[in-house]
C-alpha cells in the first residue's frame, strides 16, 4: 500500500514538473539554428574616411534633425578633437548620436577623421539581448528602439560590440536609451538618406542599398590601387552592418575594433541557448529517476525513518 502511494506521488510530482517545464520552455527556443543574411533590399551608408575633413557638419545636422539638446561646445569648435576621457576619445552620448574624431596616424600625411554612430548591424547584439523586444531591425536597414517598453536593464549596452547605446543616467523618472536611428521615422522610412549624409559638404558618405554599396566599395578599392586598405569595415564584421567604412589607413589606427570577428553576437550565445531545451526535457526524467532509485532501496528495508513525511 505504502509503495503504491509513493509511486502515485512520484508520478504526480514528475508530471507536475514536466508540465511546468514545458510551460516555461515555450519561447526560449528556436533563435538557435538559422543564420540571417540581412534584409535583401536594406539600405546602408558607405563612409569614405579618406574624404572626411572633420568639419562636424554631420554632427550639427544630426543634432538639428533629432532635436537634441544644444552641445556643450558649438559645432565649429574644433578643440573637441583633443578631448580625452578615461583615455578615450569622444564618443556618442544621449546628446550626440554621432561624433567625428581626429586621429594622427604615423606615416600618414595630415590627420585622419572618422565619423562614428550606430552601425545598424544586420543581426544586432542589442536586439538579441533585449528581454522586452524593444529593438527592431527594419526592412529598410535601421535598428530602432521603442522606449515605451524599456525596463532599463542596460543589457543592450553590454551586448553592443560598438558601445553605441547611451543611457540617460541623469533621469530618475524616464531614463531610456538614446542612439542613432538612421533618421528612420523622419527620413529613411520615406526612402530619404539620413540627415548627416545629406549635410556632408565633402560627400564622404554614400547612401544606397547595402548590396550595391559593397560592390561600390570594392570597385573604389580596385579603381584606386594603393589608396585604400583592401577591406570594407562592416561588410562582414559581427555579421555585417548597414554602415560600412573605407579607409586609407589601417582601421585599427583610427579607433575601429578590428578583433570583433565575423560572427554576429547572437552566435556566441547560441551555445547556451541550445542547452536550455535539453535541461528542460532531460532533467525531469533524470531526477525523478534518481528519486526512484534512491527511494527503492529504502522501500525494500522494512524500517522507515521517522523523519519521513514529517
Partner 1 sequence: MKRYVAQGYDLPFLKNAATGGDKKWSIKEKLLLGLTPGQYLAQFVRNPFNWLFLLIFMAGLPILIGRFYYGLGWATHGSYDYPWGLFLGWGLFVMVPLSASGFMLGTTVEVFGRDDFKPIERLALLNGLLGYLFAVIFLQVDLGQPWRLIYPMFVSLGPAAVLFLVAWHVATYLSVQVAELLPALAEWGNWPGLKKFIRSMILGLTISGIILSTLHQGALGALFTYAPGKVHPLWYSAPFQWFYFFCSSIFAGLSMLIVVSTLCKRFLSWRCDRRFLDNLDQQTMGLAKGAVLALVTYLAIKIIAIAHAENWGYLVTGWGAYYLLEISVGVLVPIVLYTKALRNNLPGLARFAALITVFGIALNRINTALVAFNWNLYQEIPHWREVIISITVYTLYIVTYRFILYRLPILYQIKVKS
Instruction: Please select the residue that binds partner 1; options are 7, 29, 73, 192, rule is CB under 8 A.
Output: 29
The residues, any chain, with a CB within 8 Å of residue 142's CB and separated by 6 or more, are 120, 181, 182, 184, 188, 242
Name which of 64 and 296 has its Cβ closer to partner 1: 296
17 binds partner 1 (CB under 8 A): yes
Instruction: Provide φ and ψ at 237, rounded to 5°.
Output: -50, 135
C-alpha cell at position 101: 574624431
Question: What distance in Å separates the CA atoms of residue 86 and residue 239, rounded to the nearest whole number?
Answer: 29
CB of 165 to partner 1, least distance (A): 8
Residue 36 binds partner 1 (CB under 8 A): no
Q: Smaller CB distance to partner 1: residue 107 or 172? A: 172
120 SS3 class? coil
x/- mask, partner 1, residues 50-89, rule CB under 8 A, reads ------------------------------------xxx-
Measured from the CB of residue 162, what is the shortest distance to partner 1 in angstroms? 11
Candidate list 62, 159, 182, 213; residue touching partner 1; CB under 8 A? 159
Binding of partner 1 by 279 (CB under 8 A)? yes
Rounded least distance, CB 136 to partner 1, Å: 11
Nearer CB in complex with partner 1: 146/202: 146
Q: CA 212 to CA 270: how far, in whole Å?
A: 31
The C-alpha atoms of residue 48 and residue 202 are separated, in whole angstroms, by 10
Q: Is 310 in the site for partner 1 (CB under 8 A)?
A: yes
Q: Which of 51, 218, 220, 291 binds partner 1 (CB under 8 A)?
A: 291
Total residues binding partner 1 (CB under 8 A): 84
Is there a contact between 233 and 256 (Cβ–Cβ < 8 Å)? yes
Alpha-carbon distance 72 to 94, whole Å?
13
31 vs 224 by CB, closer to partner 1: 31
Which segment (52-60, 149-157, 183-191, 203-211) binds partner 1 by CB under 8 A? 149-157
Q: Does 118 bind partner 1 (CB under 8 A)?
A: no
Q: What is the distance between the alpha carbons of residues 284 and 293, in angstroms, rounded to a whole number?
A: 14
Asked whether position 236 contacts partner 1 by CB under 8 A, the answer is no
| Beta carbon of residue 190, minimum distance to partner 1 (angstroms, whole number) | 27
Spatial distance between the Cα atoms of 70 and 238, rounded to a whole number of angstroms: 33
Which of 62, 166, 200, 249 forms a contact with partner 1 (CB under 8 A)? 166
* Beta carbon of residue 306, minimum distance to partner 1 (angstroms, whole number): 9
Q: Which residue stretches of the chain are H helix? A: 2-25, 57-65, 125-129, 155-159, 195-199, 210-223, 265-300
The CA-based angle 52-55-59, given to 5 degrees, is 100
Closest approach of partner 1 to the CB of residue 160, in Å: 9
Contacting partner 1 within 197-226 (CB under 8 A): none
Whole-number Cα distances in Å, 213 to 124, 196, 218, 243: 20, 17, 9, 10
Amino acid at each position: 500500500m505504502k509503495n503504491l502511494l509513493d509511486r502515485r506521488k512520484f508520478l504526480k510530482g514528475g508530471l507536475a514538473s514536466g508540465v511546468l517545464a514545458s510551460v516555461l520552455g515555450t519561447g526560449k527556443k528556436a533563435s538557435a539554428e538559422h543564420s540571417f543574411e540581412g534584409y535583401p533590399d536594406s539600405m546602408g551608408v558607405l563612409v569614405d574616411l579618406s574624404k572626411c575633413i572633420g568639419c562636424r557638419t554631420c554632427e550639427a545636422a544630426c543634432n538639428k534633425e533629432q532635436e537634441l539638446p544644444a552641445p556643450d561646445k558649438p559645432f565649429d569648435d574644433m578643440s573637441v578633437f583633443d578631448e580625452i576621457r578615461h583615455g578615450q576619445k569622444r564618443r556618442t552620448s544621449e546628446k550626440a548620436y554621432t561624433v567625428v574624431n581626429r586621429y594622427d596616424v604615423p606615416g600618414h600625411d595630415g590627420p585622419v577623421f572618422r565619423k562614428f554612430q550606430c552601425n545598424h548591424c544586420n543581426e544586432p547584439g542589442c536586439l538579441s539581448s533585449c528581454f522586452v523586444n524593444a529593438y527592431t531591425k527594419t526592412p529598410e536597414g535601421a535598428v530602432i528602439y521603442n522606449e515605451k517598453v524599456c525596463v532599463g536593464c542596460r543589457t543592450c549596452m553590454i551586448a553592443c560590440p560598438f558601445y553605441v547605446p547611451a543611457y540617460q543616467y541623469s533621469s530618475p523618472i524616464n531614463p531610456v536609451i538614446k542612439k542613432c536611428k538612421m533618421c528612420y521615422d523622419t527620413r529613411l522610412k520615406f526612402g530619404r538618406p539620413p540627415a548627416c549624409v545629406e549635410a556632408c559638404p565633402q560627400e564622404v558618405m554614400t547612401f544606397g542599398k547595402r548590396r550595391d554599396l559593397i560592390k561600390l566599395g570594392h570597385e573604389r578599392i580596385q579603381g584606386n590601387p594603393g589608396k585604400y586598405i583592401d577591406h570594407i569595415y562592416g561588410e562582414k564584421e559581427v555579421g555585417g552592418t548597414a554602415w560600412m567604412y573605407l579607409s586609407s589607413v589601417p582601421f585599427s589606427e583610427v579607433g575601429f575594433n578590428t578583433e570583433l570577428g565575423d560572427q554576429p553576437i547572437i552566435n556566441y550565445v547560441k551555445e547556451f541557448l541550445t542547452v536550455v531545451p535539453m535541461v528542460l526535457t532531460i532533467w525531469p526524467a533524470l531526477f525523478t529517476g534518481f528519486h526512484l532509485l534512491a527511494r527503492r532501496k529504502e522501500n525494500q528495508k522494512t524500517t522507515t525513518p521517522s523523519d519521513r513525511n514529517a
